[in-house]
Amino acid sequence: MMRLCTKAALLGAVCLSFSANIVSSAHAQSGGGWFVPKASQPAAPAQAGRHAAPAPVAMPAAPADSQDAADQTPPVLPQPNIPAAPDVAKEAPPPAAIIGVISVGGVMRQSSAAVQIERVLGGRRDALAQDLQKEQAAWRDEQQTLQSQAKSMSSDQIQTRERALQARVMKAQRDFRNRNRIIQEAAQVSLNQIERELVQVIQKVSTAHGMNLVLHSEQVALHVDGQDITNEVAVQLNKVLPSVFIPDANVDPEELAKSGKMPTTADAQQQGPATGPAPVVNPAAGNQ
C-alpha cells in the first residue's frame, strides 16, 4: 500500500505555528507576565505618627536562564558493548518512486475551515487579552488607592486590604489561565478535524496521479508544476470540509469529551492506528 513518508503529525510545524497564532497567550499581548502584588510581609516598625505603607504591586520577574548548565562539559558515561548486526537476506527492491510535492502551509492558507478557525478563535483570544488588561488596570487602581489611604489606616487595615487584593489577583489568574486553556483546546479540536481530513484528501489526490511518495515542497530544491498537488488538495479539502466544528466559547472541550456526545481522542487511541497511508511529515518537526 502506498505510504506518504513516515507516520507523524500531518500538519507538523505548520499546524503548530498556526495554532500558536490563534491561541497565543493573552498575557504576552498585555506586557508579558502576570501582574501579581508582592506577598504580604511583616510590617516594618512605623515611625512616630505614621503607618507603614503597603507594598507596591509588582510584575513577577521571569526566571533567569541557567548559562552555567549550558557551558558545562558533557559527562563521560558508560558505553556497554552491543552485538554486531547480522546481514539481512536480499529482498525485492521497492517500486520506482513516483514523486509528488505539497505545501501544507499553502493548503492551510486556502482552507476555508482554517480561515474560520482563525476568525472565531482569534476573536476569543483578543477578548481575553482585553479583559486581562482591564483587570490589571483595576489591580493598579486598587493599589494606588490603598497607598493614598495608608496614612489614615492602621497596619492591620492595610494588611487586610493587601490580602484581599492578593486573593483577587490569584482568582483572576486562575480564571484567565482556564479561559486560555479552553481557547487552546478548542483550537486543537478544530485543527484536528482539518488534519484528519487532509490525510484522506492527500491520499486520494496522490493516488489519482499514481504518486507513491509525497514530499513537502518547502524542502524540495527543484520540481516541476505537474508534481505539485497543493492547489488540487486545497480545492478538494474545501469541497469536503468547508467548515469545522468549533466548541462554543462557554463550552469546556474536556467537559464536552466527558459528555459522550461525540467521539474523542481517547476512542481513537483505543481503536489503534488507522489503516492506510501515513501522513506527510515535516522532518524538521520531528526534531522539535
- Among 102, 2, 6, 14, smallest CA distance to 285 is for 14
Tell me how many degrees the CA angle 173-176-181 measures, rounded to the nearest 5: 120
CA dihedral 36, 37, 39, 42 (to 10 degrees): 180
Per-residue pLDDT 10s for the chain (288 aa) are: 454 443 344 445 444 445 455 445 444 544 444 433 444 444 444 444 444 445 554 444 444 555 555 568 888 888 899 999 999 999 999 999 999 999 999 999 999 999 999 999 999 999 999 999 999 999 999 999 999 998 899 989 999 999 999 999 999 999 999 999 999 999 999 999 999 999 999 999 999 999 999 999 999 999 888 999 999 999 999 999 999 999 999 999 999 999 988 888 887 666 655 444 444 434 333 333
Give the Cα separation of 26 and 178 in Å (integer): 12
Contact 234, 108 (CB under 8 A): no
Tell me how many degrees the CA angle 50-53-56 measures, rounded to the nearest 5: 165
Give the Cα separation of 265 and 104 in Å (integer): 23
Give the Cα separation of 138 and 168 in Å (integer): 10
Give the Cα separation of 145 and 153 in Å (integer): 12
Handedness of CA 225, 231, 232, 233 (dihedral sign): positive
How far is CA 80 from each of CA 77, 83, 86, 236, 239, rounded to the nearest angstrom?
10, 10, 19, 53, 56
Cell of 221: 530544491
Give the Cα separation of 127 and 30 in Å (integer): 12
